[in-house]
Structure 1
Amino acid sequence: MTSPVSTTNARLNLDTALHPLNALGYGGDYNPEQWPEEVWAEDARLMQEAGVNLISLGIFSWAKIEPTPGARDFGWLDRVLDVLHRHGVRVNLATATASPPPWMAHQDPDSLPVTADGVRLSVGARQQYCPSSKTYREGSRRLTRDLAERYAQHPALAAWHVNNEYGCHIWECFCEACAGRFRTWLDRKYGDIEAMNAAWGTAFWSQHYASWEEVNPPRRVNGFINPTQQLDWRRFSSDNILELYSAEVEILREVTPQVPVATNFLGFLKGLDYWKWGRQQDFIATDVYTDPGEPEAFRDGALSYDLARSLGLGAPWALMEQTSSLVNWRPVNVMKRPGVMRLWSLQAVARGADAVMFFQWRASRAGAEKYHGAMLPHGGPETRVHQEIRGLGQDLLRLKAVRGSRVRAKAAVLHDWDNWWALELDSKPSASVRQLERLSEHHRALHRMNLTADLAHPEGDLKGYRLVVIPNQYLLTDRAAENVRSYVEGGGTAVLGFFSGIVDEHDHVRLGNPAGGYPAPWRDLLGLSVDEFDPQPTDTSLTLSTPEGLTLGADLWAEVIRPQGAEVLATFNEGFYAGSPAVTRHRAGLGQIFYVGTRLAPEGLDWLLARATREAGITPDLGVPSGVEVLTRCGEHDFLFVLNHNPHEVTVEVPAGLELLSGDRVSGPLSIAGTGLAVVQLDAQG
């Protein structure tokens, strides 16, 4: 694994929470406060029958635990924990700080967040707190300590669930308290106001600041806001919320040093730099809500799962939330058809998860999420969904030998929040260049080839990968520039997308010395120079030609490229630059780097990455039909996962081993039903 993330409390991990179970984790969020107490025993019994062994408890219970300021009502929570423990269910206990009670805002209206337009939000949803509010910060610390001290020795306690989905609704606040903390953050970062002026380029538009008191958040203005100010604001806002998490973690580790601590991420949430957040987690937990209405949605799920694994340095992680069927928050909430929930859940296991959980256990009767899917739907235990939930519980029991094994990827795709923020600031050549689209396009191409890829930070250790794919690296630090160069010159193969290496960490254009085109830090590495950008209007298409006579489609972007030693693999057919390079390859040191000066259509991207992987010496674990996903988890035994995302049966050739879901010995041709899978514990070699 490759990100610059190191687990803060390395001796604690997900296995610490699961070890007493001798099984993979299985369960979901439980909200007993929404139900009469007589329902709790029934829930615990049904959980036990379904194979549930781990639930998240108390996530939105602050108002129940602290009904009035300073009061504490733990009796109901004591009884719930005892009932669950008697039924063999361990608890991922929340600190309940995700949603303050209404009395907090009533006592202190300044505890509520403020938008960039100056509007103070109100009570009535959740996560309605300003990250800088002293009232919220003090209240959350008191509640966390009281919970930790009360339940430190409870036998059901498996892990701490801090807050919930930080940044889901509020990742920035523009109030005066946040403005003050922003100024302090800037002072620590730059040391003096003139250093900040230089970094922000305030000579432009007469923006020079004479004192810290003059500096504000990037509130609503009458035109383009200073881009470096916006970029620093993003960095500050992520750090400011991380302080909330760290404050609770400090208490939990003081009081319960033997209990692992984590919060649940939201996949590709733009507002929080999860590379930095990952350092604070004892294990990575994430929520993934892949849209069943999207074509080949399982490839989107694979990307989110690969991110979770990568944030934790390859260690087993927890799928903390998903839905059993449909959600409640899309304009049209498409259901998961029979078999899909099982297949996508076990896809997470294939990609490194040791726990599979849902939101939520029992479907709510009231509130905004009453139509959200649940493990126990409104229709009760006899419904299709609950029967599939029970079946999945049995599957996970059969796969318990997988726990603790790891996915080993030979390729990496670079992704960086700083770059994401900078690329999508306003006043760019094209607002249509979007980071997640670029990332998804390249990851999907590798996924179609059944090549497992980690996600990696551009400054991380890349030496273990045979191929590194860089969809876009608009913002490039000196350290990242040298890191990629060292990787290539040391023998690696890289693929670099357009509009990369353009600015430094302050969003200042890299001009190079001597001047000579983009990207200044990598011109010699690439063997070319980019003179001009030609962003393409919507619905405009391009074509490329290769020396072999192929015609490739492209769109979105084109560049005027001057080769300076690079081999030309494809040329543009349109524009005044017709016949000039569009795709190149250059050997540097012991390695090579491909450059793509446009957005290739999927077939063209497949063509390019097939060539790059072939030359890098990477092959999939198994040859399979289209729509079949294959990867291996490695440990004391190796486990081959073969997932059929097609609606029809397929036959694949598998090595000899024990198929864990059926218990059968297999070798050679194996039939797998539509939306079905096989997990083969491979026989030891030699």
Structure 2
Amino acid sequence: MSSKVPAISSKAPVMLHGADYNPEQWLKYPEVLKEDIRMMKLAGCNVMSVGIFSWVSLEREEGVFTFEWLDQLLDTFKENGVYAFLATPSGARPAWMSEKYPEVLRVERNRVRNLHGVRHNHCFTSPVYREKTALMNSKLAERYAHHPAVIGWHISNEFGGECHCEYCQNAFREWLKVKYKGDLDELNHAWWATFWSHTYTSWEQIESPAPHGETQVHGLNLDWRRFVSDQTINFCQHEIDSVRSFNPELPVTTNMHMIDGVDYRKMAKILDVVSWDAYPDWGYTEDDDDARLAAWTAMHHDMYRSFKKKPFLLMESTPSLTNWQTVSKLKRPGMHKLSSLQAVAHGSDSVQYFQWRKSRGSSEKFHGAVIDHSGHAETRVFRDVAEVGRTLAGLTDVVGTTTPAETAILFDWDNRWAVKDAQGIRNSGLKYEETVLQHYRGLWELGIPVDVVGSGDDLSGYKLVIAPMLYLISEENGKRIEKYVEQGGTFLATYWSGVVGETDLCHLGGFPGPLRRTLGIWAEETEGLHSRDLNGLVMDPGNTLKLTGDYDAHEIAELIHLEGAEALGHYRSDFYAGRPALTVNKLGAGKAYHLATRVKDPQFYVDLYAAITGKERISRTLNSELPTGVTAQLRSDGEHDYVFVQNFSGNEQVVTLDGQEYTDLESGTAAPAELKLPVNGLVMLKRPTAKA
């Protein structure tokens, strides 16, 4: 039975390939616009995102709309087989609006209103801004919602940021009244506001966090972040509502970019398609470890795919360098194809770039683009893009396929916010995202598909659920995890888990709070270690995972007591030498592991998850040993599997296949028993899906 989902657009049921396109910058250069169309076809590009920052070109003065240039562009797209994601232009408003309606400009944490400038400098609560965006969007929708070239709405651009104006302060207070049912006493208790005599006696006293005001009430900080996220999502919904009715069949998306202030898992619920912008700094990370960076990028691809359990869009990436990273190096040979197909391997049905043509001036004039200032196709970058275009054209069968994951990692936004706000064991850096990555990379190195989910999501379909540093967890979600384990699931948690509840109040009765029964341990103390400090995890002889060895540990160490759990490994040194550092607890039909310290060696996580997934009979994409830095990712339609073997190791590698019948997707011929992968190389394979 096919497990495909419908293509993102029935007009273009193929792999999408294209870029952000800004023709309004080139209206005085008609020869450039004509040449662009020719080179789009030459590069195998079939979609462009247009209109993202075009507001002033569409409404040069208030109420005076000029759509002729966009009419001509979309008609030309139609004639040449190019499609468009049509953007609402709210990411940057015109100067005339800032001048006439200064309330649209953001107020910063210091309560100073910004001047006009940059982008994303607008208040999501402002009635005027909402009115103006609704008017502009409805004009666009009325004119283009049924245009044959338009295949979807691109709502604004990389939503993020916060405003502290009076509109937002009042909206925050109303949000709090709803959350706490109008009970100020309940709010004061939830925030533990008796601390430092911070008790509020009227709603009007509540202000958002400020550098010259309140910053130490963690419940306030957390609720403010939640409010900002909700208000941003509410504004996105406002924009969607302003275009949806003109053609309800036209899908909507907005490009996400791992901005800290928006809970994208919640935002995804109002979108038809998830899309995101990926800009890894290949080849010039501080540790010069492209494999680590590849795992980091893969984890985010998996996160965006997991929001809706269906294909997403890689809406932006760079075909060359960026202009904003610390060092802007070029992509090495092979890396453009490898990194582009990495997104497809993890569930993207598109590869798109910022940008099509380099801006001639201003801040992005040196940001990478398909077309350089030279203006022609005889460049290394263009050839790389055209090669990806040819490859994507041959992957139509992959469109709509899904990723059957038996393993999930928990990643919650409010947990992330609370961890970063915590003042305690290691103020030099608790490294929440790094902790999640350590565990994800172990699975990535093994070629095990992973979903990245929230603690409130349904976990029942997974054999293994991993919760790195689940510092914030409600009693309700703790019970859900307990039930998951009792019913046969396997769960793994780490140090600094089960510490606070949903309002950032510490759980009483001992950590890890609502996970204590599940894990079968009590964490009496947690210690932060200096960077120079080193301890270790020594595996116990005869442990049930059959792991051996002595692994270096650093940064965080938890002193735990066994309350039904069994020790698998102990600390190596210091006054807690010999105390449990890795445990397992049997509960009902399942089991729960606890890792009490941060292990430094990446190989530990590979060894740990090889052992656990082997015991739980969790499938790898390939039943083969993969060299370090080489991974295999799976997409499937239920009849055929599509296997992407990718080499991020920095060296030539050889992978021996597992004896199944494989076809090379690019050549259409039978795959050899051994795959020879050059530096930055990949091989795409097809095989029959194994029947359960």
TM range (shorter): over 0.9
Kindly provide the CA deviation profile for residues 237-261 of structure 1, in whole angstroms up to 9, marking residues without a partner as x.
Answer: 0011111110111122111112001
The match for 1:9 is: none
The match for 1:629 is: 631
Matched, 1:339 2:355: no
Aligned positions of 1:104-143 closer than 5 A: 104-143=97-136
The match for 2:403 is: 407
Q: Secondary structure at the match of 2:267?
A: helix
Q: Distance in 2 between matches of 1:570 and 1:652?
A: 33
Q: Distance in 1 between matches of 2:15 and 2:605?
A: 37
Instruction: Report if aligned partners of 1:14, 1:260 keep a CA contact under 8 Å in 2.
Output: no
Matched, 1:675 2:675: no
Q: Distance in 2 between matches of 1:278 and 1:439?
A: 21
Q: Distance in 2 between matches of 1:551 and 1:308?
A: 36
- The alpha carbon displacement at 1:64 in A equals 0.7
Q: Distance in 2 between matches of 1:486 and 1:333?
A: 49
Kindly provide the CA deviation profile for residues 432-480 of structure 1, in whole angstroms up to 9, marking residues without a partner as x.
Answer: 2122111111111211121121101111111111111111111111221
Q: Secondary structure at the match of 1:38?
A: helix
- Please, which of 370, 376, 385 is the counterpart of residue 381 of structure 2? 385
The match for 1:278 is: 268
Aligned positions of 1:68-147 closer than 5 A: 68-147=61-140
Contiguous gaps of at least 5 residues in structure 2: 542-547
The match for 2:443 is: 446
TM-score (norm. length: structure 1): 0.94
Instruction: Report if aligned partners of 1:492, 1:616 keep a CA contact under 8 Å in 2.
Output: no
Instruction: Report if aligned partners of 2:516, 2:522 keep a CA contact under 8 Å in 1.
Output: yes
The match for 1:500 is: 497
Q: Say which is worse superposed, 348-357 or 520-529, in terms of deviation.
A: 520-529
The RMSD of aligned alpha carbons is: 1.8
Q: Distance in 2 between matches of 1:231 and 1:186?
A: 12
The match for 1:660 is: 665
Q: Say which is worse superposed, 69-78 or 633-642, in terms of deviation.
A: 633-642
The match for 2:523 is: 530
Q: Secondary structure at the match of 2:187?
A: helix
- The alpha carbon displacement at 1:27 in A equals 0.4
Q: Distance in 2 between matches of 1:520 and 1:165?
A: 36
Aligned positions of 1:48-447 closer than 5 A: 48-167=41-160, 171-192=161-182, 193-221=184-212, 224-266=215-257, 268-292=258-282, 293-294=284-285, 295=289, 296=291, 297-312=293-308, 314-379=309-374, 380-431=376-427, 432-447=429-444
- The alpha carbon displacement at 1:565 in A equals 1.9
- The alpha carbon displacement at 1:649 in A equals 4.7
Q: Say which is worse superposed, 284-293 or 212-221, in terms of deviation.
A: 212-221
Aligned residues: 665
Q: Distance in 2 between matches of 1:421 and 1:136?
A: 28
Instruction: Report if aligned partners of 1:650, 1:674 keep a CA contact under 8 Å in 2.
Output: no
- The alpha carbon displacement at 1:21 in A equals 2.7
Q: Distance in 2 between matches of 1:411 and 1:685?
A: 18
Kindly provide the CA deviation profile for residues 203-223 of structure 1, in whole angstroms up to 9, marking residues without a partner as x.
Answer: 222112122111111112467
- The alpha carbon displacement at 1:544 in A equals 2.5
Instruction: Report if aligned partners of 1:495, 1:612 keep a CA contact under 8 Å in 2.
Output: no
* Cα distance change, pair 448–413 in 1 and its aligned pair in 2 (3 A): same
Q: Percent identity?
A: 37
Kindly provide the CA deviation profile for residues 509-537 of structure 1, in whole angstroms up to 9, marking residues without a partner as x.
Answer: 1113xxxx311322222221111121112
Kindly provide the CA deviation profile for residues 382-424 of structure 1, in whole angstroms up to 9, marking residues without a partner as x.
Answer: 0000011111100001111111111111111100001011111
Instruction: Report if aligned partners of 1:656, 1:667 keep a CA contact under 8 Å in 2.
Output: no
TM-score (norm. length: structure 2): 0.93
* Cα distance change, pair 614–685 in 1 and its aligned pair in 2 (3 A): closer
Q: Distance in 2 between matches of 1:685 and 1:219?
A: 57
Q: Distance in 1 between matches of 2:444 and 2:665?
A: 24
Q: Distance in 2 between matches of 1:144 and 1:78?
A: 15
Matched, 1:557 2:549: no
Instruction: Report if aligned partners of 1:641, 1:678 keep a CA contact under 8 Å in 2.
Output: yes
Q: Say which is worse superposed, 461-470 or 421-430, in terms of deviation.
A: 421-430
Q: Distance in 2 between matches of 1:238 and 1:223?
A: 20
Code of the aligned partner of 1:175: C
* Cα distance change, pair 482–48 in 1 and its aligned pair in 2 (3 A): same
* Cα distance change, pair 434–671 in 1 and its aligned pair in 2 (3 A): closer
* Cα distance change, pair 200–685 in 1 and its aligned pair in 2 (3 A): closer
Q: Say which is worse superposed, 611-620 or 236-245, in terms of deviation.
A: 611-620
Q: Say which is worse superposed, 672-681 or 289-298, in terms of deviation.
A: 672-681
The match for 2:545 is: none
Q: Distance in 1 between matches of 2:563 and 2:359?
A: 64
Instruction: Report if aligned partners of 2:642, 2:684 keep a CA contact under 8 Å in 1.
Output: yes
Kindly provide the CA deviation profile for residues 637-672 of structure 1, in whole angstroms up to 9, marking residues without a partner as x.
Answer: 221221222442524326323312112222523333
- The alpha carbon displacement at 1:16 in A equals 4.1
* Cα distance change, pair 223–131 in 1 and its aligned pair in 2 (3 A): closer
- Please, which of 643, 646, 650 is the counterpart of residue 643 of structure 1? 646
Instruction: Report if aligned partners of 1:648, 1:674 keep a CA contact under 8 Å in 2.
Output: yes
Q: Secondary structure at the match of 1:21?
A: coil
Instruction: Report if aligned partners of 2:495, 2:597 keep a CA contact under 8 Å in 1.
Output: yes
Q: Distance in 1 between matches of 2:432 and 2:163?
A: 24
Instruction: Report if aligned partners of 2:311, 2:348 keep a CA contact under 8 Å in 1.
Output: yes
Instruction: Report if aligned partners of 2:11, 2:151 keep a CA contact under 8 Å in 1.
Output: no
Q: Distance in 2 between matches of 1:475 and 1:684?
A: 39
- The alpha carbon displacement at 1:684 in A equals 6.1
Q: Secondary structure at the match of 1:407?
A: coil
Code of the aligned partner of 1:420: R
Q: Distance in 2 between matches of 1:305 and 1:186?
A: 34
Matched, 1:15 2:20: no
Q: Distance in 2 between matches of 1:22 and 1:604?
A: 43
Instruction: Report if aligned partners of 2:528, 2:555 keep a CA contact under 8 Å in 1.
Output: yes
Q: Distance in 1 between matches of 2:609 and 2:103?
A: 53
Code of the aligned partner of 1:311: F
The match for 1:606 is: 606
Instruction: Report if aligned partners of 1:320, 1:355 keep a CA contact under 8 Å in 2.
Output: yes
Code of the aligned partner of 1:659: D
Instruction: Report if aligned partners of 1:110, 1:133 keep a CA contact under 8 Å in 2.
Output: yes
Q: Secondary structure at the match of 1:529?
A: strand
